[in-house]
Amino acid sequence: MNSGDEDDAVRELSDRVPREVHIREEGPRDGWQNIEDVVIPTSVKVDYIQRLVRAGLRRISVTAMVHPKWVPQLADGPEVLAALEAVPGVDFGVLVPNPRGWSRLTGLLDDGAPITEITTVVSVSEAHNQANVNMSVADSLRQLEPVIGAARERGLHVSAGVATVYGCSLSGAVDVSDVIAVARALVDMGAGELTLGDTTGMANPVQVTEVLGRLRQAVPTTRLTPHFHNTRGAGLANVLAALQLGVDSFESAYGELGGCQFARGATGNIATEDLVSMLEEMGVRTGVDLLQLIDVVTDMEAFLGRRLDSHVSHAGPVDWNGRP
């Protein structure tokens, strides 16, 4: 390849990559729910959510409507919502896994909870869905339909989570046609967005290109928001593959918090600060203040008494002026 061809290839790549990316911060929900050795007080949770807002995050998943027996760390979800105030331009979201969760949230919405969007979840893998919610994929879809309809009636944005999109540690490979079938079912119910989970951290960039490419053909008007885990270190490489398809929305968690109990060696979601650093260095706007976000990670490490798996929070941002 001569230099002219290389320049053309670089321009072609640059033209495909979006100029701005939207990030949904999952640390306060997906991240915290996997912390079992330390109880995070409600006041600390609210403070960190507010700090994430000040750092420039405009979509934040703040809690889940789940039974405290299964997710003790999020037992104070109603108290968190009661303490939060609406912020113009910021969308606070809640995971609602089933009709019981929706019933709980309805009362909180009536009391003024500042929620503008919900996320539902269903696995493509039958084995994972049984392990995660104790029902078949078909049954999950049936029980989510009235939840999605009711949420839309209340003016909430619905992001439908699709788990084990790229493979299942319990049952192996996942067929893309099954992913498309679940995705279409959720869109037909009224979901305005699909959150595509690399739940067990098995995705690779070639696979991401295939799956997202086929999904964009199957549901062309629906926003696709990848949710990559960094279990095998491929998280940001997978982001790049999605960017090259023009995808402009991602989920991540500060400090690389999160995980999956069914994935061997599971780490968390891709770290928000690592994602922001890479995107901004590529010339892709995120609206996030990286230094403020790093402070959030550093303080959470001090609170937990352990080092988190993020890279940028320890190496620091790229500094072209050579300052330490």
Query: Mind telling me the catalytic residues?
Result: 260
Angle between helices 99-110 and 137-153 (to 10 degrees): 20
Bridge partners of 252? 25
Please report where in the chains the tokens 């039958």 appear, as a residue: 126
Close Cβ partners of 76 (under 8 Å, ≥ 6 residues apart): 42, 45, 63
- The whole-angstrom separation of Cα 310 and Cα 324 is 19
Buried b (16+ CB within 10 A) or exposed e, 99-128: eebbebbbebbeeebbbebbbbbbbbbbeb
- Count CA within 13 A, CB hemisphere, residue 319: 9
- The whole-angstrom separation of Cα 317 and Cα 276 is 10
Residue 276: CB atoms within 10 A of its CB come to: 27
Please report where in the chains the tokens 């009391």 appear, as a residue: 111
Close Cβ partners of 244 (under 8 Å, ≥ 6 residues apart): 13, 16, 17, 209
| Residue 229 near residue 270 (C-beta atoms within 8 A) | yes
| Residue 146 near residue 189 (C-beta atoms within 8 A) | no
Backbone angles phi, psi at 306, to 5 degrees: -155, 160
Angle between helices 205-218 and 176-189 (to 10 degrees): 40
Alpha helices per DSSP H over the chain: 3-16, 42-54, 77-83, 99-110, 126-133, 137-153, 176-189, 205-218, 235-243, 272-281, 290-304, 312-315
| Residue 309 near residue 267 (C-beta atoms within 8 A) | yes
